[in-house]
A and B are shown apart, each in its own frame.
Chain A
Amino acid sequence: MPFTIESGNYGTVDFSKSVVLQSNDQKPIEFVVEREAAKMSGLIKDMLEDQEGDDQTVIPIPNVNGRTLKYVLEYCEYHWNNKADPIDKPLRGKIEEVISSWDRQFLLTDLIKGGDEKQHELLIDVIMAANFLNIKDLLDLTCASVASMIKGKTPEQIRALFNIENDFTPEEEEKIREENRWCEES
């Protein structure tokens, strides 16, 4: 699990091996992360390129709160030297069927809370963080998860799941439904 420290208390941190990342909460949460794990983020990797080995590297992460950052870093700490297999496009079956058991656990415990699709708030926060921090594999996993949730559902069910407003006119809706008849038949 990502290691946090008391704010500003860097005495125990070995900056030759690790960096400190600060969340954007009012009271920032400070995570100690190994450099190699942090470099899964393209954004952080670029920042660290100009660094000398022992600099006291403390990086504020503006768009990500502590709760989300914890999970992002958990992913990086596991995967930085254990790269996930690429996920085929289009998705074959449901996401659970094509990812490792670690990734399954990672996804279905808290990101999709208790495995309940309707509880996907953290999943979306992680998507935005992975996009901002440029962590391709994590973005792939989370985007594929959303696609998996969409799979097999009718438009009504998809709208209910994601709180989507239906802004078609009745004529437009009918046009699309007619054209989509083949989806029901397959």
Chain B
Amino acid sequence: MARRERTAEELAEEVRRTRAHPYGVKPLGNLILSGAVNCRDAGLGNLKQTTDGTVSEIVSYCTGESVALLSATSRSFYAFCHSDEVWKPLTLFALRKDGKFFFSDNWKQTYLNTRLGEQAPKHNLIVLDNFYSDTLHHIHRDSSIPIPAKWTRTNNVERRHASSMSKEEFQELYEKPGKPVIIQGLVENWGAFKKWEWDYLLSKWGDVEYQCEAARLTMKEFKQYCDQQCDDRPLYLFDQSFCSTSEGLSADFEVPEYFNDDLFSVLGDKRPDFRWLIAGPARSGSSFHKDPNSTDAWNACIRGVKKWIFFPPSVVPPGVMCSEDGADVTSPMSLVEWFSNYYHRCDEVDVPPLEALVQPGEMMYIPNGWWHLCLNLTSTICITQNYVSNVGLKRVLSFLKSMPHCVSGVPCERRESLYTDFREALSSNLPELLQQVDEEEKKDAKPHNEPLPQGDEGGFSFDF
């Protein structure tokens, strides 16, 4: 019986699934089985007793030249010096000073392209046959294992159709109690849903620059990177200025009625950052965080499939560490690493998470204060906005007043004053609303027993 002809995509996927480590690094388990000798220690000299993590930390302080010369000292250092984790930040750093971004093959080659342009040498990979390390191997593993079905099976966030839900009903059932919901029947009517294929976007905005984490890349440069990369934690395009930099994009979507209160708009252009164009390849996404300034948010999935996990405000997700005042949230691993090491621990948490697989055309509502994580299972394009409605105004004012050090989305010098600035703008534009909120606040406040704002368990910070 003839084998079914596999498509080019299937073949590429198979190669990717079985892709060996480009430099031949193997996990420690292989060493035990093979009885070979690990070249690690001899090649580290006086540093041999330190851990792999420590050696990587030392390398992370080295400049591009230092790393290149260090990699020539021994096979062991060659392995440590050729991780994508090393050359990606060096490339982004080099871009800040000068240089044109051109991703080819891997981050080391890309660094050489950026630093040296046409003079860039070809990076010839040396495959090591005797270097074993779990730390270095797991990064490669995370970049190449197929996403297991069990990570995407659970889909228990409620779904509602816009045609059968009024704004009042949305606020009563979801916004006031703070409950995630997926809304259908909105995004599929947008121009973006019909038009936003990559060819179209590149033809109109290919040369426009967008914020991609620490770097600014044109859409063409970013797309070229997406197509070639094999990162365990791919770069994410996450841009807050797209409506002003890219004429025509804003006409392709509209803020749904449920979310059109948008009270921060009274601040005009002094308002905190509030809307982002987001795009990224499979494995990109956002690790666990709470959204800024105690706001609510919606996330419209225009292209691609996204895996979401939600935990309620008072439940810290497994693998996440909050600093004491909640001002700093550190979750420094890749999303794939989190799933590999911590996803199963969700079973041990008192309150099981809500999870969802969001398809193109669907919109996720993210209530304020909820921890959430998002993993892109395929290449995705989304728009997200944060907002304050009448429902949330009292809470947001309280947050801005009591947690000025956790305010974000405005320049440092304006964080402390955002509370008073907002109040002033409200009192000019919506005096009755402000008055109403102040009266409610007085009623709530009992002597020695003021209610705490919901945001106090954890401040917001993106840890890219």
B49 proximity list for chain A (CB < 8 A): 124, 128
Q: Which of A147-186 contact B (CB under 8 A)?
A: 147-148, 150-155, 158-159, 162-168, 172-173, 175-183, 186
A151 proximity list for chain B (CB < 8 A): 62-63, 66
Q: In this assembly, does B316 line the interface, its C-beta being within 8 Å of a C-beta of chain A?
A: no
> In which size bucket is the chain B interface?
35 or more
Instruction: A140 to B57: give the CA distance in the assembly, Å.
Output: 8
| Contact across chains for B50 and A90 when beta carbons are under 8 A apart | no
Number of interface residues of A (CB under 8 A): 44
| Contact across chains for A139 and B54 when beta carbons are under 8 A apart | yes
Interface residues of A, dominant DSSP: helix
With A131-B54, A168-B75, A181-B121 in contact, do A150 and B43 touch (Cβ < 8 Å)? no
Instruction: A90 to B71: give the CA distance in the assembly, Å.
Output: 16
With A89-B61, A165-B42, A168-B75 in contact, do A150 and B123 touch (Cβ < 8 Å)? no
B54 proximity list for chain A (CB < 8 A): 127-128, 131, 139, 143
B63 proximity list for chain A (CB < 8 A): 90-91, 151
Q: In this assembly, does A120 line the interface, its C-beta being within 8 Å of a C-beta of chain B?
A: yes
| Contact across chains for B126 and A159 when beta carbons are under 8 A apart | no
Instruction: A91 to B62: give the CA distance in the assembly, Å.
Output: 6
| Contact across chains for A173 and B72 when beta carbons are under 8 A apart | yes
Q: In this assembly, does A87 line the interface, its C-beta being within 8 Å of a C-beta of chain B?
A: yes
| Contact across chains for B65 and A164 when beta carbons are under 8 A apart | no
In whole Å, how far is B431's beta carbon from the nearest beta carbon of chain A?
A: 44
The CB with the most chain A CB atoms within 10 A, among B46, B57, B61, B121, is that of B61
Q: In this assembly, does B1 line the interface, its C-beta being within 8 Å of a C-beta of chain A?
A: no
In whole Å, how far is A91's beta carbon from the nearest beta carbon of chain B?
A: 5
| Contact across chains for A172 and B126 when beta carbons are under 8 A apart | yes
A140 proximity list for chain B (CB < 8 A): 57
Q: In this assembly, does A112 line the interface, its C-beta being within 8 Å of a C-beta of chain B?
A: no
Chain B residues in the interface with A (C-beta under 8 A): 39, 42-47, 49-51, 53-54, 57-66, 68-78, 89-90, 93, 112, 115-116, 119, 121-124, 126
Q: Known pairs A147-B62, A147-B66, A179-B122; list 4 more (Cβ under 8 Å).
A: A127-B54, A147-B60, A179-B123, A179-B124
Chain A residues in the interface with B (C-beta under 8 A): 87, 89-91, 120-121, 124, 127-128, 131, 139-140, 143-144, 146-148, 150-155, 158-159, 162-168, 172-173, 175-183, 186
